[in-house]
Amino acid sequence: MALRSEPTARQTRLATELRRLRLAAGLTSREAAALLGVGSAQISQIESALTGVSEKRLRLLASHYVCTDEQLISALAAMANDRTRGWWEEYRGLLPTSFMDVAELEHHATRRRDVEFLLIPGLLQTDDYARAIFSSRIPAIPAEQLELRVQHRMRRKAILERPTPVPYDAVIHEAALRIRVGDRAAARAQLRRVLEASEADHISLRVIPFDLDGFGGTWSTMMLADGADSRLDTAVRDAPHGVTFIDCEAQLGVFRALFRKVEAVALEPERSRDFIHALAKEL
């Protein structure tokens, strides 16, 4: 079987979890290979996501690693069996790999959470708003590339619109609602889009107003995607130098705690809708 030239973030996560299980069992890759009856190079390839692993071999490895957590094993087996080629594959080779990885992560998520202080979350953006954001990049993005990015962002909304949508929780600061990324008409349309989304049963949207007393805040944008097992959750940080996927449990614990903190101080969903309605009337 040919080795993968560019493993996806999901494939890499599976490989990382298998390596963690092996290390927790105190085994070397050579010892694990002997138990499986393969060469040590194959274990290295599996743990670097250069090659996949069958469910049968995955469960055999879990047995050798003395992992008895069936929920985790089943979640990893589902990842190993996954052959999904989603809509995002149409953009492979046309957009940075991170675009595909984020879309794939969201597709498989059991819940999505966002905290935004200066921009509307990507899943709630209109095409004009997204276009204005991408147009502001330095250096400038070529027109064709810009439109591909806008299209990709709009198609990510599929997780909120499919028959069984992904539950979504968003906490948005008033600053993000007030900053006019585009013109007045675009800003008004964007607020309408946020309000429409907030009416859905599977979407919880909360606003942090400027005049909230005692809010030191985290001032840290964050995106969380829950996995089939909490140990497979992922945090995503978007920075000028690129996207970072975080799966270390200690760091994930911090992100979860920060999300609970901002969610607790934000306005309740109904008050948040009233707040956004009032802002929209000002435009």
Residue 201 clears pLDDT 90, i.e. is over it: yes
Please spell the DSSP secondary structure of 108-132, one letter per residue: H-SEEEEEESSS--GGG--HHHHHH
Tokens of 161: 């619109």
User: Is the predicted pLDDT of residue 213 greater than 90, yes or no?
Assistant: no
If you average pLDDT over every residue of the chain, what do you get?
94
Q: pLDDT at residue 64 above 90?
A: yes
Q: Percentage helix, strand, coil, to 5, in the chain?
A: 55, 15, 35
Contacts 24+ apart (CB under 8 A), 64-68: 64/25, 64/27, 64/32, 64/35, 64/36, 65/21, 65/22, 65/24, 65/25, 65/27, 65/32, 66/25, 67/21, 67/24, 67/25
Residues 3, 46 contacting (CB under 8 angstroms): no
- The pLDDT tens digits of the residues spanning 170-188 come to 999 999 999 999 899 999 9
- What pLDDT was estimated at residue 217? 64
Q: Which pLDDT belongs to residue 240?
A: 67
Q: Taking the complete model, does pTM exceed 0.85, yes or no?
A: yes
- Which amino acid is located at 74 in the chain? S
Residue pLDDT, tens place only, 115-163: 999 999 999 999 999 999 999 988 899 999 999 999 999 999 999 999 9
What per-residue confidence (pLDDT) applies to 99?
A: 96
Q: 167 is written with which tokens?
A: 């539950």
122, 221 Cβ separation under 8 angstroms: no
CATH 3.30.870 fits 87-282, yes or no: yes
Assigned CATH topology for domain 9-81: 434 Repressor (Amino-terminal Domain) (1.10.260)
> Which strand (E) or helix (H) includes residue 93?
none
Q: Which residues pair with 111 in a beta bridge?
A: 226
Residue of 3, 53, 63, 57 whose CA lies nearest to 27? 63
Q: What are the structural domain ranges in the chain?
A: 9-81, 87-282
Find out whether 95 and 152 touch, Cβ atoms under 8 Å: yes
Give yes or no on whether 9-81 and 87-282 have one common fold: no
